[in-house]
Every structure is written in C-alpha cells, then in structure tokens.
Amino acid sequence: MKNAYRITAFVIGGSIFCALVGWQYLAYRADARLLTIAFLDVGQGDAIYVRAPGGGDMLIDGGPDRGMLRSLAEVMPFFDRTVNVILVSNPDKDHIAGFIPLLERYGIGAVVEPGTIGASGVYEALKQKGDTHATRIVARRGTVIDLGGGAHFEVLFPDRDVSGVTTNTGSIVGRLIYGDTSVMFPGDAPDEIEQYVLVLDGEKVNSDILKAGHHGSRTSSVPEFVAAVSPQTAVISSGSNNSYGHPHKETLDTFQEADIEVLNTADQGTIIFKSDGKTIWRVR
C-alpha cells in the first residue's frame, strides 16, 4: 500500500509540475510579440527587467542586495538562465549589489556602464566578476542596445568621459523604444543633467512612461524635464519608510501639477507594463 501511495503522489506531483511548466511556456509564447517592462520591488534601489519580443532581455540596475533575484524570478521565465545585457546606470550600491549573485547564477552577455567610478567594495567586486563573465561596454551618447524584435535602448547621456564626476552626475540617461511606445530612464541624474539632455534632445525625450529620477528625489524630475517627457505615468522605485524621505513632496507636487499618474514600488510592489508597439498598458 505504501508503494501505491508513493506512486500516486509521484504521479500527481509530476502532473502538477508539468502543468505549471506548460502554463508558463504558453504564457511566454502569448507574450512573444510584446515588450515587457517590470519595475522590480527591491526596496530602496533600482532594478528594471526588460524582455523584448522574441526573448532578448536586459536588466537595468540590480537593486541593493541579492533580494533582487527573488523579484526577478517572478517575471523571468524559469527556463531562461541567460540575461543578454545588464546595464549599470550608476555604480552606487543600491543599483548594483544584486548583480553580483546574478553573475554567479546566470549567463550574462554584456555589462553596459557609464564609466563613473564607484567608491564601494561592491563596485570593485562587480567589476572583477563582470570582467570575467561578460563583455564590458562603456556607454556613450548614440550607443544603441538592440534587444531584438524591434525593441532597443538608446543612450542619450553621457556624451563624454565621466570618470571624474560624481556617480549621479554621470548616470546613464536613455530611452527604451518599441514601435510608437517608449520609456524614459534618467537613472539618478540630477536636475542639471536633465536640463542638459533637454538642450541636446528637446521634444525627442517625449515618452509614455518616466522612471522618476533618483527614487523621486527633489534633485531630479524638474518641471521642465517632466513637461518635455510628458509621460502618462511616472514610476518611482523606493523603499517603504526609507531614511532619505523618498519620494520627496516637491517631486510628487510636480507630477500632480502635470496630471501624471504616479506609481511607487514601495506601495504597489513590482509594477509591470506591456507594449505591442502601438500602445502601452499596465498589467500589474
């Protein structure tokens, strides 16, 4: 009898596993022509998973710790153990610490970084692992990261060597584009860099979604930049009751005055959008 129970349990367990695998595969196939943008709930930090039509993917920042892997596992197909590109918008710990365990567990195609120098030991550890496990690319204005399926990420800044400036000032600013839809990513760039990008690009920064700069800090998301981007939605990535007071009231007021919807991972958890190249919508 015991053997019969074991066999029955094994069969039931195997059936459930196969059903789950089949369900995720079907879901993956159904999204094959869609762009997915997932703002991961990583606490006080940034991590955004992008999956292009056809399966090419990119992780913009890695969050403040290894907890990023748990959030990533919720949105990335379990059978995929490769991330094509990881992008370091700036080398501060809250943007990169999760990349270290990622490099140990996943195959990584390329590491894109701005060229600023991080002061922490985490940055040195990431640099060593990145040099060993992936191709290193220093981003410059005009760099285009082709994710396949018609989706690409275009670097707007830095436009020069930023190794001698602060990590926030040298942040990568860029746009994710798929068809007629786009998302603006200003990293932790302060207001003077946002203004400079406007001088370079003007109305070209217009996007459907704005990833609010520097976790909603008052040092970013100045009214002129927000008006030029003119997003439907601004997404803030911050931790609950964080010691910085992010997002700051001034930033929230700017979005409210512009009638922009504000979402915060501290309140909503992981936030996911999808795009078919014509429209972009929130699914979570």
9 plus 83 within the same structural domain? no
221 plus 232 within the same structural domain? yes
128 plus 184 within the same structural domain? yes
9 plus 37 within the same structural domain? no
81 plus 103 within the same structural domain? yes
CA–CA dist 175, 211 (Å, integer): 10
Q: What is the pLDDT of residue 115?
A: 96
Q: What is the pLDDT of residue 29?
A: 54
The b-or-e profile of 22-56 (16+ CB within 10 A means b, else e) is eeeeeeeeebeebbbbbbbbbbbbbbbbbbbbebb
52 plus 68 within the same structural domain? yes
147 plus 208 within the same structural domain? yes
Q: How many domains does the chain have?
A: 2
Please write the tens of the pLDDT for every residue from 11-46.
Answer: 565 555 444 455 455 555 557 899 999 999 999 999
> Do 102 and 108 form a contact (C-beta atoms < 8 A)?
yes
Please write the tens of the pLDDT for every residue from 79-101.
Answer: 999 999 999 999 999 999 999 99
- How does strand 209-211 pair with strand 107-113? unpaired
Please write the tens of the pLDDT for every residue from 152-192.
Answer: 999 999 999 999 999 999 999 999 999 999 999 999 999 99
106 plus 4 within the same structural domain? no
CA–CA dist 230, 5 (Å, integer): 62
109 plus 155 within the same structural domain? yes
Vertex 240 angle, CA 236 and 243, to 5°: 95
46 plus 20 within the same structural domain? no
266 plus 143 within the same structural domain? yes
Give the CATH number for residue 175: 3.60.15.10
57 plus 21 within the same structural domain? no
Q: What is the DSSP letter of 279?
A: -
Range of the structural domain that residue 194 is part of: 31-282
